[in-house]
Amino acid sequence: MAALNPPHFTRVFIRYFCLYHLLLSLHLPPRASSLSFNSNFSLPRSYNPQDFILQGDAYFDSQMIELTKNDQSQKIHDSVGRVVYAQPVPLWDVATGKLATFNTTFSFQIKPEDGAVTGDGMAFFLGHYPPTSIPNPIENGRNLGLFTNNSNTNATGNDRILAVELDTFLNTGIDTSNSHIGIDVNSIISRVYTNVMVPGKNLTSGLPMTCQVSYDNNTQILTATLKIGDVAYPADTSADLRQLLPSVVAIGFSAATGAAVELHRILSWSFESSLDMSPPPEPQPPAATKPNLPPASRRHPGQPSSYTGYCLVLLVSGLVVVFCCCRHTRNNDLDEAPPRAGVPMQMQMQTQDVVLLLVDPVNNLASIARSFQYDELVEATNNFAEDTMLGRGGSASVYRGRLTNPDKLVAIKRFNGQASDAEKGLFQAEIKAISGLRHRNLVELVGWCNDVGNNHLLLVYELVSQGSLDEHLHGDKSWLSWPKRYRIILDTGCALEYIHKQCNDCVLHGDIKPCNILLDERYQAKITDFGLARLIDHETQQKTTQCPAGTPGYIDPEFLETGKRSRESDVYSFGIVLLEIVSGRRPAGSRLLTEVRNRHSRNAIVEAINPRLLAESTSRDHDERKMERVLLIGLWCTHPDPTKRPLIAEAMKTLESDDENLEIPALPHHVAEPLGHSASSSENSSVHASTAHDQDFLAR
């Protein structure tokens, strides 16, 4: 093995040493109440049987927990069983009213009996602690062991239960199909449900399945996602658990059979919850001018603790050092490449390293981005085959690809043509902006290829499976319920708050719009496309730019007049997105904004809400208030006077507040159409292609 290049080794060591001290300075927030466990029931050492309470017919088998009878020599119908975690789980704090977040994942199997009709199903639940006694199994199959026949549609007191049911039998008057995932709120009749009907990948296919259930205390949204192979079945609902359940609950699983039979098996179960029980901060004296609200602290379900993040980043940092050192022991590849003709030195400095360690101390996340050879990306996309193309823009096309080392699905952004100076500038801007960012609501940079000599400029990102928000709002992707839309709003705002305030440099995105908001399999939103992004110092308010302006309908009129991009420019675009999400309609130049402003001036802003969202709501009054609040904040963010717009932290705090008395700065009743905001021909086409209801709304 060749000797290490001493200067390079010194540089790597210094980088690692600096990272180490950076990590030592991370703030570890106090957590008053938390719970976490991870049990694989095929590995006896991974769990303690004393941590679980078995009720009814449930029992430990060698590789799993059987919830109902499994003795073939005896009858297995009319069987009810539960397994409950032995310790109570704090759900909300009586003193402060604060809610917990939680995230649980379990793998399970529902195995039909040969030739028998299957039924009835199983459920994950939260209920009274200590757990109530098991109900009478006779004729209880339809209740999945959760309720008695007297409380199965309106449970009160100790019988209250929140459950995610996995139902395999069609009970008339209760169910919609014989294979569905549903969310039950104090009733066996599901508040929301999704049919699980793909042939060979449904609840009774006999396959191992995985279900993830999470609750976000900020959005008060419960989300459940069932995965069978490569098929996902989501369901979600709004739920203020303080109004539905006791402050301390039991968690576990329940299953039942009636005349129809099947086996119900829990293979593994992990759970994590966190409840901040610290007292609220002392009230601040009222400000003389616009309040300067601090960024709200948001810990999302599934996010690891600070200690976990600390260890993770240390481990990844060490791997980076080893990787870099090993790479530089190769023969001729050890030499540093000379400067490349025609390529700005700044770009070379941004992209010449083998790997980048991306660290987000705020969210305790870390990842590695690396340089790719062009041939690797050709192989990943089958030579950029047409059937792998995900989309095409003015300067680049995006392809779906699969890397081989490691095996990973990615989205590869390939800049078009002969790498013009403009494209080089966009490539440089995007990699410069995104390479220093790491956040759960930003699309992750995996790597890049900048073979400028051969006109190859490519960026490699994580593949986000559910496409763009625009496709769901206006295309052929699935309809988004209000809970999903509200979560997308908060995720997008959280990402903007991070790039504006919480990362090292303030990053101005420059093109916030639904096309640049991608959704993963859990409909978590991630911002992408930093081609127009610019870095500014946190103390700098504006930056003059000669880059393309952005997208008509989402551009701040102030930017069009002055050429100065600021935080307020991104906030304006965010406001337009809020109006679009709630109304379900494109901006159409300034037409949507004008219509919502006019309705607000007539105290009729609720008329701008998409009627289908209200019609499908299971908590209409609560959801309507939320939608109205989002529209008002959208108008605040798009205030014609940029100085009266909120910081993104202020907008987020107001979005998450339960204060009923929301006030925004006074808006003029009539606002002239912003300069440059007339609908383009493409926008007009999209408007004419809208439904008649869209046209009626715009014509009112």
What's the DSSP call for residue 117? Answer: P
Given this model, what pLDDT does residue 463 score? 92
Confidence of residue 1 (pLDDT cuts 50, 70, 90): very low
Q: What is the pLDDT of residues 438-457, one digit of tens each?
A: 788 998 888 888 876 677 88
| H-helix or E-strand spanning residue 345 | helix 345-351
Residue 286 has which token pair? 């009222």
**Plot region of 210 (φ>0 → left; ψ -120 to 50 → alpha; else → beta):** beta
Given this model, what pLDDT does residue 685 score? 35
- The percentage of residues in the chain with a pLDDT greater than 90, rounded to a whole number, is 43
Given this model, what pLDDT does residue 429 score? 66
Residue 674 lies inside a defined structural domain of this protein: no
Given this model, what pLDDT does residue 58 score? 95
Residue 438 lies inside a defined structural domain of this protein: yes
- Residue that finishes a domain, picked among 462, 489, 514: 462
For the cut 80, the answer to whether the pLDDT of residue 417 exceeds it is no
Instruction: Provide the mean pLDDT of the chain.
Output: 78
Given this model, what pLDDT does residue 670 score? 55
- Residue that finishes a domain, picked among 405, 429, 462: 462
Residues 575/636, Cβ–Cβ less than 8 Å: yes
- Cis, peptide link before residue 557, omega less than 30° from 0: no
Given this model, what pLDDT does residue 238 score? 87
Region 624-647: mean pLDDT is 93
Q: Of 144-153, 165-174, 629-638, which gets the smallest average pLDDT?
A: 144-153
Distance of alpha carbon 215 from alpha carbon 102, whole angstroms: 5
**Plot region of 455 (φ>0 → left; ψ -120 to 50 → alpha; else → beta):** left
Q: What is the pLDDT of residues 170-222, one digit of tens each?
A: 988 888 899 999 999 999 999 989 999 899 999 999 999 999 999 999 888 99
Residue 404 lies inside a defined structural domain of this protein: yes
* Residue 89: half-sphere exposure toward Cβ, Cα within 13 Å: 28
Given this model, what pLDDT does residue 188 score? 93
For the cut 70, the answer to whether the pLDDT of residue 550 exceeds it is no
Please check whether residues 458 and 549 belong to one and the same domain. Answer: no
Q: What is the pLDDT of residues 480-522, one digit of tens each?
A: 999 899 999 999 999 999 888 866 667 888 889 999 999 998 8
Please check whether residues 575 and 451 belong to one and the same domain. Answer: no
Distance of alpha carbon 493 from alpha carbon 303, whole angstroms: 18
Residues 214/104, Cβ–Cβ less than 8 Å: yes
- Residue that finishes a domain, picked among 273, 300, 316: 273
Distance of alpha carbon 75 from alpha carbon 66, whole angstroms: 15
The count of structural domains within the chain is 3
Q: What is the pLDDT of residues 316-352, one digit of tens each?
A: 555 554 454 444 444 333 333 333 333 333 333 333 4
The position carrying tokens 């952005």 is 550
Given this model, what pLDDT does residue 138 score? 80
Q: Which residue has the higher pLDDT, 670 or 608?
A: 608
Please check whether residues 72 and 143 belong to one and the same domain. Answer: yes
- Cis, peptide link before residue 674, omega less than 30° from 0: no
> Which domain range does residue 628 map to?
467-656
CA distances from 356 to 11, 272, 537 (A): 14, 31, 22
Residue 224 has which token pair? 């459940």
Residue 689 lies inside a defined structural domain of this protein: no
CA distances from 129 to 93, 126, 407 (A): 15, 9, 44
Distance of alpha carbon 415 from alpha carbon 412, whole angstroms: 10
Q: Of 59-68, 340-349, 424-433, 576-585, which gets the smallest average pLDDT?
A: 340-349
Residues 234/225, Cβ–Cβ less than 8 Å: yes
Distance of alpha carbon 689 from alpha carbon 687, whole angstroms: 5
C-alpha 235, offset from chain centre: 14
Region 258-262: mean pLDDT is 91
Distance of alpha carbon 672 from alpha carbon 199, whole angstroms: 56
> Which CATH number do you get for residue 160?
2.60.120.200
> Which CATH number do you get for residue 441?
3.30.200.20
Confidence of residue 72 (pLDDT cuts 50, 70, 90): low
Please check whether residues 516 and 580 belong to one and the same domain. Answer: yes
What residues contact 158, with CB distance under 8 A and at least 6 apart?
128, 132
Q: Which residue has the higher pLDDT, 220 or 685?
A: 220
Please check whether residues 101 and 128 belong to one and the same domain. Answer: yes
Residue 700 lies inside a defined structural domain of this protein: no
Confidence of residue 353 (pLDDT cuts 50, 70, 90): very low
CA distances from 590 to 119, 163, 637, 678, 679 (A): 55, 44, 14, 7, 7
Residues 155/186, Cβ–Cβ less than 8 Å: yes
Residues 609/578, Cβ–Cβ less than 8 Å: no
Distance of alpha carbon 568 from alpha carbon 556, whole angstroms: 8
Q: What is the pLDDT of residues 80-90, one digit of tens each?
A: 999 999 999 99
What residues contact 664, with CB distance under 8 A and at least 6 apart?
632, 633, 635, 636, 639
Q: Which residue has the higher pLDDT, 140 or 373?
A: 373
Please check whether residues 427 and 491 belong to one and the same domain. Answer: no
The position carrying tokens 């080794």 is 9
Q: Which residue has the higher pLDDT, 125 or 70?
A: 125
Distance of alpha carbon 314 from alpha carbon 175, whole angstroms: 50
Residue 687 lies inside a defined structural domain of this protein: no
**DSSP-assigned beta bridge partners for residue 216:** 221
Cα Rg of the chain (Å, integer): 27
Given this model, what pLDDT does residue 362 score? 39
Please check whether residues 403 and 530 belong to one and the same domain. Answer: no
Q: What is the pTM of this model?
A: 0.59
Does residue 511 carry a catalytic annotation?
Answer: yes
Distance of alpha carbon 366 from alpha carbon 372, whole angstroms: 19
Q: In 3D, which of 79, 267, 109 has the Cα closest to residue 202? A: 109
For the cut 70, the answer to whether the pLDDT of residue 3 exceeds it is no
Residues 580/542, Cβ–Cβ less than 8 Å: no
Q: In 3D, which of 537, 561, 541, 540 has the Cα closest to residue 549? A: 561
Given this model, what pLDDT does residue 32 score? 54
Region 552-564: mean pLDDT is 82
Confidence of residue 536 (pLDDT cuts 50, 70, 90): low
**Plot region of 603 (φ>0 → left; ψ -120 to 50 → alpha; else → beta):** left
Q: Which residue has the higher pLDDT, 698 or 185?
A: 185
> Which CATH number do you get for residue 497?
1.10.510.10
Q: Which residue has the higher pLDDT, 361 or 412?
A: 412
Please check whether residues 564 and 633 belong to one and the same domain. Answer: yes
Given the residues 511, 529, 570, 694, select the one marked as catalytic.
Answer: 511
Please check whether residues 447 and 550 belong to one and the same domain. Answer: no
Residue 15 lies inside a defined structural domain of this protein: no
Q: Of 181-195, 411-425, 518-532, 685-699, which gets the smallest average pLDDT?
A: 685-699
- The residue type of 123 is A
Distance of alpha carbon 207 from alpha carbon 271, whole angstroms: 22
| H-helix or E-strand spanning residue 182 | strand 180-185
Distance of alpha carbon 352 from alpha carbon 452, whole angstroms: 12
Please check whether residues 232 and 101 belong to one and the same domain. Answer: yes
Please check whether residues 124 and 183 belong to one and the same domain. Answer: yes
Distance of alpha carbon 115 from alpha carbon 126, whole angstroms: 34
Region 531-543: mean pLDDT is 50
Mapped onto helix, strand or coil, the DSSP state of residue 93 is coil
Please check whether residues 411 and 493 belong to one and the same domain. Answer: no
For the cut 50, the answer to whether the pLDDT of residue 416 exceeds it is yes
Distance of alpha carbon 585 from alpha carbon 57, whole angstroms: 53
Residue 559 lies inside a defined structural domain of this protein: yes
Region 404-411: mean pLDDT is 86
